[in-house]
Amino acid sequence: MEERVITRRDFLRGAAGTALAAAVGSAIPAAAKAEPKAKVVLIRQAEVLGRNEKLQAEIVQSMLDEAVKALLDEKAPLSAWRKLIKPSDIVGIKSNVWWELPTPKELEGAIQRRVLDVGVPEKNIAVDDRGVLDNPVFQKSTALINVRPLRTHHWSGVGTCLKNYIMFVPDPSAYHDEGCSPLGKIWHSPMVKGKTRLNILSAFSPQFYGRGAHYFDRRYVWPYKGLIVGTDPVAVDAVGAHLLRVKRTAFFGEDRILDVPPVHILAADKKYNLGVSELNKIQLIKLGWQQEILI
């Protein structure tokens, strides 16, 4: 079968393009809502960033636990985590080390703690990013947890969970064409396929604007103090991309689209069948601090 590349034009006129431009949850008229096909939890906590915006580890752990409980309809954190991870699993925690906005150590630690609590031996757990291909734990992994910060990105429009797996291939630059629309192909590779149990976007301090490769400007980072969590990476990314767009509109006073439309989110749904990209088909559960939640 001939592979079809999803282009910028496809995205702008496609269903997911419309969905990402729409509102989420209660902002969608009841008559327009589709039957939810994916669940995403957005949790925020006003006190999670302390003095000098230092993350409070205990609050991070509590936020993660509450999100996973809500996602899996469980009353206790370990009951929820046991639905994701078995003691016999070999667990790779795919992090992100971009120096300006890395996955917080406090969040990595919270994930590791619960994986240990489930009964996975420490030797069967690894946290890595750029070394995953050569990491023995990742090479033998039976379960993956995908965690990275939410930000704009030069090649893919948004740096989110789908983009985070680009280090699982030896030639990442080969996946930059057409707004990184081929990223979904990586998720069908043997090292990854069917292994991802949880996807987490760190939205404690997202970056909502940037131009150029590896661009960082603290003026465009804001203390959102949140986590976006789900088992469907496409749905998690769709919510994250929408949040960035709404923030850009609020900041600039106009509907300023992303410099590169995140076509890879649509492609991951429509071409690679990895999840749900249409916001009106995503059940968004909002927990915790609601001030300036934006979506």
The pLDDT tens digits for 158-172 are 889 999 999 999 999
Give the pLDDT confidence score for residue 77 in this predicted structure. Answer: 97
The pLDDT tens digits for 234-285 are 999 999 999 999 999 999 998 777 778 899 999 999 999 999 999 999 999 9
- Grouping H, G, I as helix, E, B as strand and the rest as coil, residue 99 is coil
* Structural contact between residues 148 and 95, judged by C-beta atoms closer than 8 angstroms: yes
Q: How far apart are CA 50 and CA 149, in angstroms?
A: 18
Give the pLDDT confidence score for residue 217 in this predicted structure. Answer: 79
226: left (phi over 0), alpha (psi -120 to 50) or beta: beta
List Cβ neighbours of 173 (8 Å cut-off, separation of 6 or more): none
* Structural contact between residues 56 and 93, judged by C-beta atoms closer than 8 angstroms: no
- Exposed/middle/buried for residue 235 (C-beta within 10 Å: 0-12, 13-18, 19+): buried
Give the pLDDT confidence score for residue 259 in this predicted structure. Answer: 72
Give the pLDDT confidence score for residue 98 in this predicted structure. Answer: 84
Give the pLDDT confidence score for residue 12 in this predicted structure. Answer: 42
Q: How far apart are CA 288 and CA 27, in angstroms?
A: 18
List the chain residues with pLDDT less than 50: 1-32
- Write phi, then psi, for 275 (nearest 5 degrees): 165, -160
CA-closest candidate to residue 181, choices 16, 9, 20, 6: 6
pTM: 0.88
Give the pLDDT confidence score for residue 18 in this predicted structure. Answer: 39
